[in-house]
Amino acid sequence: MSSVRVGEDGIARCGWADSDPEYRRYHDEEWGTALHGDRALFEKMSLEGFQAGLSWITILRKRPRFREVFAGFDPAVVAAFGPDDIERLMGDAGIIRNRAKIEATISNSRLMLDLEPGELDALLWSFAPAQHRPPATFAEVPATTPESEAMSKALRTRGFRFVGPTTMYALMQSAGMVDDHVAGCWRARR
């Protein structure tokens, strides 16, 4: 795959973003844009956890249903989910039916209730590197960084699950904590 592709619309994007209209929209409007707010970051963290081992396009296509069945990722609502809810979610083909990931999302929501407002936002953003050189090519994009490893460790220490360093680096990319738009992409920082 080329690091940059020019789409039918004449716009140069990161190569992965030109394979599907939903990817193009996500790339152009969301990926790498600073995301703040506990609930928004909790959703992002949860969806990145569900993505582990799968392609992100699968998650994007299922995101509306995820939002519906997880009550908009409202931690107070999800924290009240019990065994019947887990079985209901396991039977829903509109989401990723992985019991460990479903249970982790519910468990993580309960941990969210122990945090002060703004605490998850502050915690996650505290790991954003002060300096980050955008990559020239895909070959320069890491799977993990010391910051994503530290973020993962801090979350796991608090009891969060499905927050490994690779998953947390993906969150850092998608939430705009790092800019990994490759050189030549219209969204790459100059």
The verdict on whether residue 181 carries a ligand-binding annotation is yes
Given 30, 56, 103, 149, the catalytic residue: 56
Region for 73 from its dihedrals, namely left if φ exceeds 0, alpha if ψ lies in -120 to 50, beta otherwise = left
Instruction: Judge whether 17 and 182 are in contact, CB under 8 Å.
Output: no
Q: Say whether 169 is catalytic.
A: no
Q: Say whether 16 is catalytic.
A: no
Instruction: Tell me the three-class secondary structure of 139-173, residue by residue.
Output: HHCCCCCHHHHHHHHHHHHCCCCCCCHHHHHHHHH
Given 16, 23, 43, 48, the catalytic residue: 48
Given 26, 43, 147, 169, the catalytic residue: 26
Nearest Cα residue to 70 out of 54, 89, 96: 89
The verdict on whether residue 27 carries a ligand-binding annotation is yes
Q: Say whether 149 is catalytic.
A: no
Tokens 């309960």 — which residue?
A: 110
Instruction: Judge whether 129 and 178 are in contact, CB under 8 Å.
Output: yes
Annotated binding site for Zn(2+): 14, 27, 181, 185
Catalytic site positions: 26, 48, 56
